[in-house]
Chains A and B, each alone.
Chain A
Amino acid sequence: MNQMTKPEKVAAMNEAKISAEKVQVFYGDTHAIKDVSIRIEEKTVTAFIGPSGCGKSTFLRCINRMNDTIDVCRVEGNILIDGEDIYDPKVDPVQLRAKVGMVFQKPNPFPKSIFDNIAYGPRIHGLARNKAALEEIVASSLQKAGLWNEVKDRLDEPGTGLSGGQQQRLCIARAIAVSPEVILMDEPCSALDPIATAKVEELIDELRENYTIVIVTHSMQQAARVSQRTAFFHLGNLVEEGATNDIFTNPRDKRTQDYITGRFG
């Protein structure tokens, strides 16, 4: 980190949990993300919207360096979390991902029991001192994810036996269990029916109290319902970012307006 600029940045980022500057992403020769700079506030829900292939998921995966697992992917620019550059060589991407959890498009519980699914992260990171502490983490994670009452009597049954919506909340609980500060959600409701979607959205709203949440969504209604801030991506560019109400009622850019009024996308 540059010693000279650090105090300034910390001062400027009182509210910004994540701040990205001039981020470029390349997949081989494809320039997928172009010059994106954005600040994401702490303990708010930020929605990334935009048409398919606009780069919103790619950018999301930069925030916990999941793109590192793809060989041909290259990231340039700075992404700071709490003022610390996550692409600094000193940063261990594995540790970073414990701090920045992720929930995927399709529910992907491990083929293990419900208990083991939640306990997976805490066990890897050594978060529990003993068995009782582990049980405590599992119970509180499930409670926070609003799943406790539904599964408390069958913790040893396979997680894959739950319904789609329950599986997705299980995945959220699994992410919460490692006490992250940021939770990234990549279209978490796209494989769910409307009732399960409503439950997950309600959960997202509750989680905002303790976590910084970034959610990629195809549904503009969902963005309007769950988020406080919205960013609109188009063709790899960040077109516009602002309070959700402003974006939806009073977009500054014509492309944003066209997209939210359904003229393309």
Chain B
Amino acid sequence: MSLPLIVLVILALAAAGFVLGRGRAMASAGGDIRLLHSLPGYYGWNVALAAMIPAFLALVLWLAIQPVVINGQVSSMISQASIDQSSLDLVMSDVRRVAEGLDTAVAAGALTSEQAGSIRTEFTDVRDRLGQVGVALGSDVTSETLHAAQRYRELSGLGDLGRAIVVLGLAVLGAAWAWQRSNKDFRARNSVERVVRWILIAAASIAVLTTVGIALSLIFNTVEFFRLYPAADFFFGLTWSPSFGGGSELGIVPLIWATLYISLIALAVSVPVGLFAAIYLSEYATPAVRAVAKPLLEVLAGIPTIVYGLFALLTVGPLLVDVFGNGGLLGVNWMAGGTAVMTAGLVMGIMLIPFVSSLSDDIINAVPQAMRDGSLGLGATHSETVKQVILPAALPGIVGAILLAASRAIGETMIVVLGAGAAAKLSLNPFEAMTTVTAKIVSQLTGDADFASPEALVAFSLGMTLFVVTLGLNIFALYIVRKYREQYE
């Protein structure tokens, strides 16, 4: 039984369970809704959920476990000799390809299923036969591989059958159990709501578990990297010059420096502009202006960062060169090319304006009107009120907004790739090209890198460093917010 069919059957069972459960509850009350503990729909849902949830859980588990078990069974058939020739992974992927090929051949009618189970390399050119039905194999099929593939098919078929029986059995059992409990005194509403709560908990845990998963995958690869490359050289090395031939120097300092430098410029642009925009919009703008200006400002947040990158590359960079470059307006020669820390920082700052302004605007609006009245009633002007009452009251939220913007700045990639340059450099001049952690992660993992080399694995430790830095930033933000909170309610 194929997977979509199983899902459809479960859904059909659940639908039937809904109708039956509802009917049984109604019957037990003699058709009078008022005698039921819960509304009839709850009895229906109770049966439907009892049919679906265990069945789907079992299905997911089965899908996860079956390939592992079959792989284990089949790989024991592979001889040590062929493992030595290439590797177990490669042989096994050959086996799976042949097994899939046989499946396709059977489905296309080129082989009967008995033939697929019994053909031998000694009598048939399997590669040729499969080629005829459109399955291309890279090399001739050895007898061993074919055997393994046939065994693989056999086990898969068995597994699929077991899967159908177990899953559908669970669905029927669950539905039947819930159905026989459906009578007028059964508290179906409470039962359904309990299940719904667990579904919500499961959804929340998926997000948390994903974070943990991301962190773990980074940690394992980082540890692997540090076995190949000394950690001290990584954290304190002042030179970044990877070479895939070996003998690379992988010091993170220039990358971190450029990342922080660009982020700092970006924040220096976005925080004042965004905050002032928020103050204008929430305190001074008339409703008509606000209704137009706020969405317009938020359009900035919707522009893909690659477009900002192009803006940096084509407009801002050349503009800056015209001012600060050789023969520029200022008559100085600080800037050699369009890509520079300043270019990326300015454009990133523009990108972050809506983050700062939109969040700050919401927070300033949340300060109660009573605070404004109290201050105005004491003879304070509007701007004194904003400065001394509203901003302090909104400060924790504003700090949060700024740190969110900082996290974005540190993790931003496309603008940096296009606007900041590709050379890792340690310099104070903001008009020089530098490159950041994120840009280097991209360049280390794209291309023909061997994944086991330190030059590729370094990407994970770079990622891990970024992860730790942003995490530290968030914790620091929480601390600041708690310490300086001015609570108004």
B-contacting residues of A (Cβ < 8 Å)?
64, 66, 69, 71, 94-99, 101-102, 104, 106, 108-112, 120-121, 124-125, 158, 160, 171, 174-175, 178
Please, which residues of chain A bring their CB within 8 A of the CB of B377? 64, 66, 97, 101-102, 104, 175
What 8 A-B pairs come out closest when comparing CB atoms? A98-B379, A111-B486, A102-B377, A108-B370, A97-B379, A121-B378, A108-B374, A111-B488
Say which one of B388-396, B454-462, B464-472 lies at the interface with A.
Answer: B388-396
Closest chain B residue, CB of each to CB of A120:
B378
Please, which residues of chain A bring their CB within 8 A of the CB of B372? 69
The distance from the CB of A108 to the nearest CB of chain B, in whole angstroms, is: 4
A96 to B377, CA, bound (A): 10
Contact between A125 and B379, CB atoms less than 8 A apart: yes
Contact between A108 and B379, CB atoms less than 8 A apart: no
Contact between A66 and B376, CB atoms less than 8 A apart: yes
Number of A-B contacts (CB under 8 A): 77
A-B contact pairs, 10 of them (CB 8 A): A64-B377, A102-B373, A108-B374, A110-B375, A110-B486, A111-B393, A111-B488, A112-B486, A125-B379, A158-B487
Contact between A104 and B373, CB atoms less than 8 A apart: yes
B157 located at the interface, meaning its Cβ lies under 8 Å from any Cβ of chain A in the complex? no
Other than the given A97-B378, A101-B377, A108-B368, 6 more pairs (CB < 8 A) read: A96-B379, A97-B377, A98-B379, A111-B487, A121-B379, A160-B488
Please, which residues of chain A bring their CB within 8 A of the CB of B392? 111-112
Please, which residues of chain A bring their CB within 8 A of the CB of B487? 111, 158, 160
Please, which residues of chain B bring their CB within 8 A of the CB of A98? 378-379
A96 to B381, CA, bound (A): 11
With A110-B371, A112-B392 already in contact, the answer to whether A158 and B486 are too (CB < 8 A) is yes
A-contacting residues of B (Cβ < 8 Å)?
286, 368, 370-381, 384, 388-389, 392-393, 486-489
A-side interface mostly: helix
Please, which residues of chain B bring their CB within 8 A of the CB of A112? 392, 486
Contact between A178 and B368, CB atoms less than 8 A apart: no
With A104-B370, A110-B371 already in contact, the answer to whether A175 and B378 are too (CB < 8 A) is yes
Which residue among A71, A95, A111 has the maximum number of chain B CB atoms within 10 Å of its CB? A111
With A110-B389, A111-B487, A160-B487 already in contact, the answer to whether A124 and B374 are too (CB < 8 A) is no
Give the contacting residue for B376; candidates A69, A175, A178; CB below 8 A: A69
A101 to B376, CA, bound (A): 10
Closest chain A residue, CB of each to CB of B376:
A69
Closest chain A residue, CB of each to CB of B368:
A108
The distance from the CB of B379 to the nearest CB of chain A, in whole angstroms, is: 3
Closest chain A residue, CB of each to CB of B486:
A111
A106 to B373, CA, bound (A): 11
The distance from the CB of B285 to the nearest CB of chain A, in whole angstroms, is: 12
Contact between A178 and B378, CB atoms less than 8 A apart: yes
The distance from the CB of A114 to the nearest CB of chain B, in whole angstroms, is: 13
A171 to B378, CA, bound (A): 10
A196 to B379, CA, bound (A): 27
A34 to B373, CA, bound (A): 25
Please, which residues of chain A bring their CB within 8 A of the CB of B286? 71
The distance from the CB of B374 to the nearest CB of chain A, in whole angstroms, is: 4
Contact between A124 and B376, CB atoms less than 8 A apart: no
The distance from the CB of A161 to the nearest CB of chain B, in whole angstroms, is: 9
Give the contacting residue for A120; candidates B368, B370, B381, B388; CB below 8 A: B388
A102 to B379, CA, bound (A): 10
Please, which residues of chain B bring their CB within 8 A of the CB of A160? 487-489
Closest chain B residue, CB of each to CB of A71:
B286
Give the contacting residue for B381; candidates A94, A109, A174, A178; CB below 8 A: A94
Give the contacting residue for A124; candidates B370, B373, B379, B488; CB below 8 A: B379
The distance from the CB of A245 to the nearest CB of chain B, in whole angstroms, is: 31
Closest chain A residue, CB of each to CB of B379:
A98
Contact between A66 and B373, CB atoms less than 8 A apart: yes
A158 to B393, CA, bound (A): 12
Please, which residues of chain B bring their CB within 8 A of the CB of A174? 374, 378
Closest chain A residue, CB of each to CB of B489:
A160
Please, which residues of chain B bring their CB within 8 A of the CB of A99? 379
Which residue among A109, A110, A124, A125 has the maximum number of chain B CB atoms within 10 Å of its CB? A110
Closest chain A residue, CB of each to CB of B374:
A108
Contact between A97 and B488, CB atoms less than 8 A apart: no
Which residue among B368, B374, B380 has the maximum number of chain A CB atoms within 10 Å of its CB? B374
Contact between A97 and B370, CB atoms less than 8 A apart: no
A99 to B378, CA, bound (A): 9
Give the contacting residue for A110; candidates B374, B376, B384; CB below 8 A: B374
A109 to B392, CA, bound (A): 13
The distance from the CB of B214 to the nearest CB of chain A, in whole angstroms, is: 38
Please, which residues of chain A bring their CB within 8 A of the CB of B393? 110-111
The distance from the CB of B67 to the nearest CB of chain A, in whole angstroms, is: 59
A137 to B377, CA, bound (A): 19
Contact between B379 and A104, CB atoms less than 8 A apart: no
Closest chain B residue, CB of each to CB of A112:
B486
A101 to B377, CA, bound (A): 6
Closest chain A residue, CB of each to CB of B389:
A110
Please, which residues of chain A bring their CB within 8 A of the CB of B368? 108
Give the contacting residue for B370; candidates A101, A106, A121; CB below 8 A: A106
Please, which residues of chain A bring their CB within 8 A of the CB of B379? 94-99, 121, 124-125, 178
A74 to B368, CA, bound (A): 24
A121 to B488, CA, bound (A): 18
Contact between B380 and A94, CB atoms less than 8 A apart: yes
Contact between B384 and A124, CB atoms less than 8 A apart: yes
Closest chain B residue, CB of each to CB of A68:
B376
